[in-house]
Amino acid sequence: MPPSRPPNDDRSNRKRAEKAGRRAETICAMWLRLKGYRILATRYQSPAGEIDIIAKRGTVIAAIEVKNRSDRATALHSVRPKQQNRIARALEIYAGRMGHQGDLRLDMMILSGFARVEHLENAWQRS
């Protein structure tokens, strides 16, 4: 007979995943700063959805979705079209509130393996 799991095992797994996600977002924000981006917001909430990081470099504002996965392929497939559309709408809301007239971009950052960071500019297009 397999051992029974404690009732809050799922809760502790979610807490660990949340903590790992926050750590990944912090690493990505630091990486972006080193690359010359200015971080405008983290965990931005709008009626359309959440954006992990909003950053600006030059006249471009980018919404950056951060994924912490064991490999690149898993991370790429984890952002479905529905989530992509929510992020795009949230970025448009943010830009409208800020009066931004420049370009908007939808990026993705992937943390995989041991401290490997990959920044995919224009990871997808607004539909």
CATH number at 71 reads: 3.40.1350.10
Phi, psi of 64 (to 5 degrees): -120, 120
Residue 126 belongs to some domain of the structure: no
Better-predicted residue by pLDDT, 80 or 126: 80
Q: Please give the residue range of the domain that contains residue 20.
A: 9-120
Structure-token match 């990486």, residue found: 31
Total domains, the chain: 1
Residue 4 belongs to some domain of the structure: no
CA proximity to 33, closest of 124, 109, 122 = 109
Separation CA 95–CA 89 (nearest Å) = 10
Residue 1 belongs to some domain of the structure: no
Query: Interior CA angle at 16 toward 14 and 21, to 5°?
Result: 95
pTM, full prediction? 0.86
**Sign of the Cα pseudo-torsion (64, 21, 30, 43, in order):** positive
% pLDDT > 90, the chain: 65
Mean pLDDT of 38-66: 96
Residue 107 belongs to some domain of the structure: yes
Residue 88 belongs to some domain of the structure: yes
Residue 46 belongs to some domain of the structure: yes
Mean pLDDT of 93-106: 94
Give the least confident one: 1-5, 101-105, 119-123.
1-5
